[in-house]
Amino acid sequence: MDKKGMLYLCATPIGNLEDITLRVLRVLKEVDLIAAEDTRQTLKLLNHFQINKPLISYYEHNKSERGKYIVEQILQGKNVALVSDAGTPGISDPGEDLVRLCIERDITVSALPGPVAAITGLILSGMPTGRFCFEGFLSVNKRNRREHLEQIKNDPRTLIFYEAPHKLLNTLEDMYSILGNRKIALARELTKKFEEVIRCSLEEAINRFKQSMPKGEFVLIVEGADPRRLEKQKHQEWMNMSISDHIYLYTSQGIDEKEALKKVAKDRGISKREVYALNLKNKK
């Protein structure tokens, strides 16, 4: 008989305590141990719901040693619930490492879904929700932050970020300089009394927060790249190239010369004969 316990990933409210699910309350009452990212925060929640259970911390700086301990407890037959500071464990917190450890040791992991700040912000943003990309926190390091934004600047999907108030202005300025003046929704204090969603352009957001210090944690939802603008940009890049460089762009990808001439003609809106003639002239 398998005497192992289980790991339960319990989503908790991101502000409004009424958002806890009945299933999470039951499991928190039933497990042997609760592992929490922020024990003080979780204690408030447990006290509110009159749940009295052994509580240990599991966060970024102790996840390696604590993860092993939790797995050991589960292997000895204990059921453990993992809760995040707020929201769903495993999203922008070390929960994913514990899940991986449990899977490696053949421990059953069960997810009890509930609030996620990213999705709550997205559905309030008014931006397309059909395709979106969660980017989590951008780095505090300016170079890494800008590199991250460079990597995703052509992504047409709606982009979602987490951000702390003291870093917000720098982040908005980098977004503006790399992504251009896109639409943004800044969602703060979600599900709380002073919930606010500011929908504006990146430029307007920068001006606003230059005047007053932002308060609260934010979810930033940024419009994806406009495919028409990208097409225009690509066209401009082709037109700035010499004909031979443009042909080389394709031949260097393994495309044969005849096909490359055809593609270049199409990109530049001229005939194949013209491309051929211009290329010949360049070579002379």
Least separation in angstroms between CB 14 and ligand SAM: 4
Residue type present at position 48? H
197: contact with ligand SAM by CB under 6 A: no
Specify the residue, 32 or 85, whose C-beta has the smaller distance to ligand SAM. Answer: 85
219: contact with ligand SAM by CB under 6 A: yes
Closest to 171 measured CA to CA, from 162, 199, 133, 93 = 162
**Sheet with 80-83, edge to edge strand ranges:** 55-57, 33-36, 80-83, 7-10, 109-112
135: contact with ligand SAM by CB under 6 A: no
In the list 8, 58, 132, 218, the residue contacting ligand SAM (rule: CB under 6 A) is: 218
Specify the residue, 86 or 202, whose C-beta has the smaller distance to ligand SAM. Answer: 86
Specify the residue, 46 or 261, whose C-beta has the smaller distance to ligand SAM. Answer: 46
User: In sequence order, which residues have a C-beta less than 8 Å from that of residue 275 and are 6 or more positions away?
Assistant: 243, 247, 261, 264, 265, 268
Q: How far is CA 169 from CA 121, 147, 282, in A?
A: 19, 17, 49
**27-35, 186-194, 261-269, 276-284 -> range binding ligand SAM (CB under 6 A):** 186-194
Closest to 138 measured CA to CA, from 212, 80, 222, 28 = 222
92: contact with ligand SAM by CB under 6 A: yes
In the list 118, 168, 179, 185, the residue contacting ligand SAM (rule: CB under 6 A) is: 118
Least separation in angstroms between CB 117 and ligand SAM: 3
Say how many C-beta atoms besides its own lie within 10 A of residue 121's C-beta: 24
217: contact with ligand SAM by CB under 6 A: yes
Least separation in angstroms between CB 148 and ligand SAM: 16
Site string (15-54) toward ligand SAM, x via CB under 6 A: x---------------------------------------
In the list 5, 63, 163, 264, the residue contacting ligand SAM (rule: CB under 6 A) is: 163
58: contact with ligand SAM by CB under 6 A: no
Q: Which residues bind ligand SAM (CB under 6 A)?
A: 14-15, 84-88, 91-93, 116-118, 162-164, 187-192, 217-219
